[in-house]
Amino acid sequence: MSLALDHLDSTQALAARLDAELRRAHPKAIIAKALEMFGDELALVSSFGAESAVLLHMASEVSRDIPVLFLDTGMLFGQTLDYRQQLAAKLGLTDVRDLRPRFEDLAVGDPKADLWKTDTDACCHIRKVIPLDMALSGFSAWITGRKRFHGGDRMRLPVVEAADGKLKFNPLANWNKADLEAYAAEHDLPEHPLVAFGYPSIGCWPCTNPVEEGADIRSGRWAGSQKTECGIHTARAPGAPPDLGGDI
């Protein structure tokens, strides 16, 4: 067995053990366990979107120094950029890192900044997948804000999983919308300004629409297409480069 495959097997075994141990744990306890195990090799990835304040607040109470990776795609709503500054300051986060697409990738793949009109997968790849892959290369584990109640493939989301040779912790996997709202109210967390205008899930402005009350929470993302994920949560084989033209 190659060293890469041996590492993959051990990572998957560790993920399975931790998932069994933590699947009923409080999200803050899951974050604390991740930090205890991985220290400065742990990062939290946040969109500073509609539901981000809850996870970021919990993380700040465990440690304000956890690196927070924020994908500034160049296509975000101005309200999101303002919210990122406001929330990071309120929570006292000391290490928020703004990840931007590489100039050379934009120059070659999206020189007119209109790739989203013809190939949303390739646009997400340039503006999200590549920058995050590069940033995560220095970490062994990361924390996400995904939840099962968002539906789709997320309905089967474990609390801990292995992906691309790293561990991914999903502390809010078990929580529903009522849990999030109660926590945000208890801790007086500021709401993303677009939520009041019917945006329950917020990404880049060209591919995010408001939704009717009661509709699926992610139905405003890439509306009218079969796309449901940007690609950053799609695992790839060890050492395999992402496919620019594929369904990422």
For residue 119, give every residue at least 6 positions away whose Cβ sits within 8 Å of its Cβ, in sequence order, or none. Answer: 245
Cα gap 27→57, rounded to integer Å:
11
Average pLDDT over residues 140-165: 88
Average pLDDT over residues 78-106: 98
Task: Name 42's bridge partners.
Answer: 141
**pLDDT at site 239:** 38
Confidence at 8, pLDDT banded by 50, 70, 90:
low
Whether residue 171 contacts residue 198, with contact meaning beta carbons closer than 8 Å, is answered with no
pLDDT tens per residue, range 101-132: 999 999 999 999 999 999 999 999 999 999 99
At 137, is the secondary structure helix, strand, or coil?
coil
Whether residue 178 contacts residue 205, with contact meaning beta carbons closer than 8 Å, is answered with no
The CA-atom distances, in angstroms, between 5 and each of 8, 105, 135, 164 are 5, 30, 23, 11
Count CB neighbours of 54 within 10 A. 22
**pLDDT at site 223:** 56
**pLDDT at site 241:** 37
Question: pTM value?
Answer: 0.87
For residue 15, give every residue at least 6 positions away whose Cβ sits within 8 Å of its Cβ, in sequence order, or none. Answer: 158, 160, 161, 162, 167, 168
**pLDDT at site 181:** 96
- By CB atoms closer than 10 A (0-12, 13-18, 19+), residue 125 is buried
Whether residue 206 contacts residue 115, with contact meaning beta carbons closer than 8 Å, is answered with no
Q: What are phi and psi of 167, to 5 degrees?
A: -95, 140
Catalytic residue among 123, 124, 207, 230: 230
Whether residue 68 contacts residue 95, with contact meaning beta carbons closer than 8 Å, is answered with yes
**pLDDT at site 243:** 34
Cα gap 161→4, rounded to integer Å:
17
Whether residue 77 contacts residue 194, with contact meaning beta carbons closer than 8 Å, is answered with yes
Helix then strand then coil, in percent of the chain rounded to 5, is 45, 10, 45
Residue 207 falls in the annotated catalytic set? no
Asked if pLDDT for residue 247 goes beyond 80, the answer is: no
**pLDDT at site 238:** 38
Average pLDDT, the chain: 86
pLDDT tens per residue, range 182-229: 999 999 999 999 999 999 889 999 999 888 776 667 565 655 565 555
Query: To which H or E segment does residue 54 belong?
Result: helix 52-62
